[in-house]
Amino acid sequence: MLPNPNAAPAKIGVLASGNGSNFEALIQAIADGLIRAEIPIVIYNNPDAAVAARAQRWGIPAVLLDHRQYQSREAFDFDVVQTLAQYGVEWIVMAGWMRRVTKVLIDRFPHKAINIHPSLLPSFPGIRAIEQAIAAGVKIAGCTVHLVTLEVDAGPILMQAAVPILPDDTSETLHARVQLQEHAILPRAVKLAIGQ
């Protein structure tokens, strides 16, 4: 499908738990005119997440929803969905969102929630993917951008990049190289998914 130059910019809500370097790669690509989109809201769930300051620097509202304040994953996702709705969000990008999502969120954004994961899925889903790859002794690590489904890190794959594991790699050195690839493929995969 060819992009429609007259389409309104897609409204992307970003969910992030930590540093926010992938958020910044995405907003930079939008600012550079590579993706026809806007990010009206960033939701974060850890009070000290650096993503909040990054969002502030870009003039984007950052809303803290602390999952520890909720009785269930569903109640938390309900508030996430409500908050996204207030900002007219059409697509979600999970840029380091370290929460398992529920049907509450998936049903509201069917095939419209995108996640980035630091492994070549379906290898090494779940937490500590970089450490899992090093422990397994594989020689190629990488990252995956995929659509989110209820099963953790298992939805349809949009894009992947491979990163060789070097003999002296620690989880930190490997993650740093994986992140360079994440920053390259996340904007491209988002553009592919939203079609503009």
Q: Which residues bind to ligand GAR, rule: CB under 6 A?
A: 16, 18-22, 95-96, 98, 116-118, 129, 143, 179, 182
Q: In the complex with ligand GAR, which residue's Cβ is closer, 126 or 195? A: 126
Q: Exposed, middle or buried by CB within 10 Å (0-12, 13-18, 19+), for 166?
A: exposed
Report, in Å, the least distance between residue 20 CB and ligand GAR.
Answer: 5
Of all residues in this chain, which one has the CB nearest to ligand GAR in the complex? 96
146 belongs to the catalytic site: no
- Spatial contact of 105 and 126, defined as CB atoms under 8 Å apart: no
Q: In the complex with ligand GAR, which residue's Cβ is closer, 9 or 125? A: 125
Query: First-to-last CA distance in the chain?
Result: 10
Q: In the complex with ligand GAR, which residue's Cβ is closer, 98 or 192? A: 98
Report, in Å, the least distance between residue 151 CB and ligand GAR.
Answer: 13
Number of H helices, E strands in the chain: 6, 7
- Spatial contact of 15 and 84, defined as CB atoms under 8 Å apart: no
Q: Which of 117, 146, 175, 183 is catalytic?
A: 117
Report, in Å, the least distance between residue 125 CB and ligand GAR.
Answer: 8
Residues whose CB is less than 8 angstroms from the CB of residue 179 and which lie 6 or more positions away in sequence, other chains included = 21, 22, 118
Catalytic machinery residues: 117
